[in-house]
Amino acid sequence: MLDFITDRDIYEEVIQGRIGKARGFVWIATSDLKDLHVDKGRRMVPFLEILSDLVDKHVEIRLLHAKEPGPVFRRDFDKYPNLIDGMERILCPRVHLKAVVIDGSFAYTGSANLTGAGMGAKSEHKRNFESGIITDDKTIVGNVMEQFDNIWRGTHCALCKRKQYCADYKDILA
């Protein structure tokens, strides 16, 4: 399967349709990171609650992002203490890719940041115009995973010209 999706379909296919069903791991890469609320049953909850539920099921969560999240995200993060040890995060100022990999068998890659406007969770006249692909093609999923993992492992760090903006670089060298 290889599908082109846009706008609200990103939310429905990736956020609602796949992430909560993960069994092994979820890797998320985003440039911008803001508070995102999603449907859970009959109520809207912070997306962090979905990730917290996954941590409780022993699903590995990795989050790559380019800058510190906004204050509402940070406040909501504090409501889910299991994310402190249960979700790994790396902040890299060069991250601009937007991707989600689930269990090594599904990937989204496209333009949408992990925000309400980006992922299509906002109303039709408030969300961004976004597009991307979703796939279970092993080669494409593998390529998305390799790019993510290279950043995660710090493959580019030694030669990076933006180290002065990278708080995590010191941790990678330690």
* Span 21-53, pLDDT tens digits: 999 999 999 999 888 899 998 999 999 999 999
Identity of the amino acid at 40: K
Q: pLDDT 10s digit of each residue in the chain, 174 long?
A: 999 999 999 999 999 999 999 999 999 999 998 888 999 989 999 999 999 999 999 999 999 999 889 888 999 999 999 999 999 999 999 999 999 999 999 999 999 999 888 887 778 888 899 999 999 999 999 999 999 999 999 998 888 888 777 766 555 555
CB of 36 closer than 8 Å to CB of 119: yes
Quick check: helix, strand or coil at residue 161?
Answer: coil
* 38 vs 80: CA distance, rounded Å: 16
Q: Is the dihedral of CA 1, 115, 42, 27 positive or negative?
A: positive
* 150 vs 147: CA distance, rounded Å: 5
Q: Assign residue 82 the CATH number of its domain.
A: 3.30.870.10
Residues 6+ apart with CB under 8 A from 174: none
pTM of the full predicted structure? 0.92
* 151 vs 145: CA distance, rounded Å: 10
| Helix segments in the chain, DSSP class H | 7-10, 47-56, 71-77, 82-86, 116-119, 138-153, 167-173
Task: Give pLDDT, residue 152.
Answer: 95
CB of 64 closer than 8 Å to CB of 93: no
Domain containing residue 147: 2-173
Residue appearing with tokens 């069903």: 21
Task: Give pLDDT, residue 157.
Answer: 85
* Domain count within the chain: 1
3 state SS for 88-111: EEEECCCCCCEEEEECCCEEEEEC
Q: CA Rg, the chain, in Å?
A: 16
